[in-house]
Amino acid sequence: MTIVLQQTMPEGVTIEMLDEVTVEMGVEKDPPKGLLLHVHFVENGRTRIIDVWESAEAFETFQRDQLMPAIEKVMQRLGIPMDGAPQPETSITEVATVVRGS
């Protein structure tokens, strides 16, 4: 079932950090299987992400195989330890209907 993933990143996580993770994964040229839409932006001083995925399983595969390794590489380059790093506020909602534009 299609899901909407919404995340509010911990304070201090910037658009530039998310852009660097995006580049590390190469997803702009080769989007992950099952991703319908991804946006990230700043709202009320916090970086946010909204994704639409074909299924929770598609997101979980992407998170395990691409996202987490890329985050680890970027954080290592920036000298930010992964241990004890705050986690984003995350909600996942099942979607009843999806209308795709052209």
Q: Which pLDDT tens digit goes with each residue over 15-66?
A: 999 999 999 999 999 999 999 999 999 999 999 999 999 999 999 999 999 9
Domains of the chain: 3-94 (3.30.70.100)
pTM of the model: 0.91
6 Cβ contact partners less than 8 Å away, ≥ 6 residues apart: 48, 49, 50, 90, 91, 92, 93
pLDDT for the residue numbered 98: 92
Question: What is the Cα–Cα distance from 2 to 6, expressed in whole angstroms?
Answer: 13
48 Cβ contact partners less than 8 Å away, ≥ 6 residues apart: 6, 7, 8, 9, 40, 41, 42
